[in-house]
């Protein structure tokens, strides 16, 4: 092994009721790309927060050795001063500030008299953008950028702090394949410059591609550290879940019944730019017991279709008709959509899915409070019992349903979102990227839940950027490209090549 840049010894971290890390040992060689794998809630993010001083020295047990010293960081500033920079699981840029302002936030370029030197700021930002391969003007507002580009701004910001050890917590979870590839290439090129990286990811193919070393954590303990030459996806999975996972998808015998949902000629325009069509004359059907996949690249209009159908784009121009069991329904607002039997579990847990300062119990009951009413008030005991039932059946890792959802790991937050919509008991449930940021074991659990919903006669629409997943669980798929349906077929006819071709089909111009 090369020289060790970091060694965390015997790290133990407890939260009220949860031992997140228990005597973890973790060593990283200088200049390597070191991946951390583990199930949702295994303790990956916590370990990195201990390292970077988010959890200050004194709030955990154990020792951190870094570049030859024992370090005791009190906060992020301390760790940054030593060249350790963490990019968190949820992006943390300020949308209304420019790229350059974000890069140098709290680290402003000052000129004579202590005033911010905007020429220098923008000039240096431009140089950093060039280094990360982002062709944007430094004065562009971050809100104008897609997630892929925002991630590059985060890295530019890290580079501005003269990073030596870069920590990326699920950097590609929200990125499309192209942006992910670009990001991974960038991390590889940073390695050439001598920068060490620690990357947390649930995408095992990605890890196999870039990591020099992989450490697997399970239930707050280090299972093993594997060298590149010995890394296989199966070995990582086995370490993560503690057993072999023979099938990635559970068996599913479809029992398909009558038509539930029919959407005819659905057209929607961009909320900020009413001249831009984002959903173009889409017609689909979903039958009882059926799992319908919608395949499409990022930007194809899948989420816009689902959101506009679910009343989220109230006020934007929408045309088309929606029928439930043959009867026309209105879905212009979220509450209309819910009361007409639709549910939409969003890809964006933070903005639409959860109230992070509220507990698990209320987040699950939120869309169904009417059901829990007794003499005009929410029946607390019933609400608690319902939430507890979901905590068990969905295997949500939390000591109690009174825990705040903001404290849960990413994957467990996703399970709360799903519980909420399943409890609302819709006829048709739309799941938008239901397994984003979810570990392989929990993915299997979620597929099983989707199958159970179908077996109970529900219609399920699944939107997923992972084509193998979509083809693994659906009964029928639609392909969407540039807002239009470019093809539809039963799963037996859906080869990945064929679907991919439909997904990338351009409009005749
Ligand atoms: N601030 C906190 N307060 C209480 N419990 C917490 C807090 N942060 C994390 N936990 C708990 O500690 C455990 C480890 O969480 P952590 O976020 O490190 O998991 P993770 O491995 O990053 O998971 P994921 O893949 O889902 O992001 C979980 O059980 C989580 O609920
Ligand atoms: Mg995490």
Nearest CA to ligand 1 atom 24: 40
**pLDDT at residue 78 above 60?**
yes
> 27 or 246, which is more confident?
27
Q: Which ligand is nearest to the CA of 217?
A: 1
| Topology match between the domains 4-241 and 249-341+427-509 | yes
Do the beta carbons of residue 335 and residue 342 sit within 8 Å? Answer: no
pLDDT of the residue at 460: 97
Mean pLDDT of 297-325: 86
**pLDDT at residue 272 above 60?**
yes
Mean pLDDT of 409-437: 90
pLDDT of the residue at 142: 92
Which of the following CATH numbers is that of domain 4-241: 3.40.50.300, 3.90.1150.10, 3.30.565.10, 2.40.50.100? 3.40.50.300
pLDDT confidence tier of residue 350, bands split at 50, 70 and 90? low
pLDDT confidence tier of residue 245, bands split at 50, 70 and 90? low
pLDDT of the residue at 488: 97
Ligand 1 proximity of 384 Cβ (cutoff 6 Å): no
For residue 173, the CA-to-ligand 2 centroid distance in Å is: 11
Helix axes 147-160, 118-132, angle to 10 degrees: 110
For residue 171, the CA-to-ligand 1 centroid distance in Å is: 17
> 410 or 225, which is more confident?
225
176-204 per-position pLDDT tens digit:
788 889 999 999 999 999 999 999 998 88
Give the span between the Cα atoms of 453 and 99, in whole angstroms. 44
**pLDDT at residue 314 above 60?**
no
417-428 per-position pLDDT tens digit:
999 999 999 999
pLDDT of the residue at 485: 97
Mean pLDDT of 439-443: 80
The domain covering 249-341+427-509 belongs, at the CATH homologous superfamily level, to P-loop containing nucleotide triphosphate hydrolases (3.40.50.300)
Distances (CA, A) of 20 to 60, 103, 115, 146, 421: 10, 32, 44, 33, 28
Predicted TM-score of the model (pTM):
0.73
Q: Hey, where are the domains in the chain?
A: 4-241, 249-341+427-509, 354-425
pLDDT of the residue at 16: 81
Ligand 1 proximity of 45 Cβ (cutoff 6 Å): yes
pLDDT of the residue at 76: 94
Do the beta carbons of residue 155 and residue 186 sit within 8 Å? Answer: yes
């Amino acid at each position: 092994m090369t020289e060790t840049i970091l060694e965390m010894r015997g790290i133990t971290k407890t939260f009220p009721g949860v031992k997140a890390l228990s005597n973890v040992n973790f060593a990283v060689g200088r200049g390597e790309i070191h991946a951390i794998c583990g199930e949702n809630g295994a303790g990956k993010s916590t370990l990195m927060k201990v390292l970077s001083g988010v959890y200050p020295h004194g709030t955990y047990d154990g020792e951190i050795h870094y570049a030859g010293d024992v370090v005791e960081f009190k906060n992020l500033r301390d760790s940054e001063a030593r060249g350790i920079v963490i990019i968190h699981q949820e992006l943390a840029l300020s949308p209304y500030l420019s790229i350059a302002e974000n890069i140098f936030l709290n680290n402003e370029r000052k000129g004579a008299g202590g005033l911010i030197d905007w020429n220098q700021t923008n000039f240096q930002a431009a140089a950093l953008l060039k280094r990360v391969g982002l062709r944007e003007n430094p004065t562009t507002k971050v809100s104008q950028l897609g997630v892929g580009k925002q991630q590059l701004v985060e890295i530019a910001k890290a580079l501005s702090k003269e990073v030596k050890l870069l920590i990326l917590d699920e950097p590609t979870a929200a990125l499309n394949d192209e942006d992910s590839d670009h990001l991974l290439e960038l991390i590889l090129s940073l390695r050439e410059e001598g920068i060490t990286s620690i990357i947390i990811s649930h995408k095992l193919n990605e890890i196999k591609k870039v990591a020099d070393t992989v450490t697997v954590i399970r239930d707050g303990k280090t299972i093993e550290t594997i060298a590149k030459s010995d890394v296989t996806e199966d070995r990582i999975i086995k370490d993560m879940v503690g057993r072999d996972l023979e099938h990635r998808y559970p068996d599913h015998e479809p029992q398909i019944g009558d038509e539930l949902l029919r959407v005819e000629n659905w057209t929607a325009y961009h909320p900020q730019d009413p001249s831009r069509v984002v959903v173009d004359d889409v017609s689909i059907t979903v039958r009882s017991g059926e799992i319908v996949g919608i395949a499409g690249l990022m930007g194809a209009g899948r989420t816009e279709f689902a959101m506009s159908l679910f009343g989220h784009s109230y006020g934007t121009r929408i045309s088309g008709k929606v029928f439930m069991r043959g009867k026309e329904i209105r879905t212009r607002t979220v509450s209309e959509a819910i009361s007409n039997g639709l549910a939409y579990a969003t890809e964006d847990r933070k903005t639409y899915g959860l109230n992070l300062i509220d507990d698990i119990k209320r987040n699950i009951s939120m869309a169904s409070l009417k059901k829990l009413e007794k003499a005009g008030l929410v029946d607390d005991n019933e609400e608690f019992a319902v939430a507890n039932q979901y905590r068990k059946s969905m295997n949500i890792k939390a000591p109690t349903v009174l825990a705040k959802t903001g404290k849960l790991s990413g994957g467990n937050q996703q399970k709360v979102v799903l519980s909420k919509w399943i409890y609302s008991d819709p006829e048709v449930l739309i799941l938008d990227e239901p397994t984003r940021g979810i570990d392989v074991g929990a993915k299997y659990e979620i597929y099983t839940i989707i199958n159970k919903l179908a077996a109970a006669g529900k219609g399920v629409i699944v939107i997923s950027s992972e084509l193998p997943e979509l083809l693994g669980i659906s009964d029928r798929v639609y392909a969407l490209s540039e807002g239009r349906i470019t093809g539809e077929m039963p799963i037996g006819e859906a080869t990945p090549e064929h679907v991919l071709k439909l997904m990338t089909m351009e409009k005749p111009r």
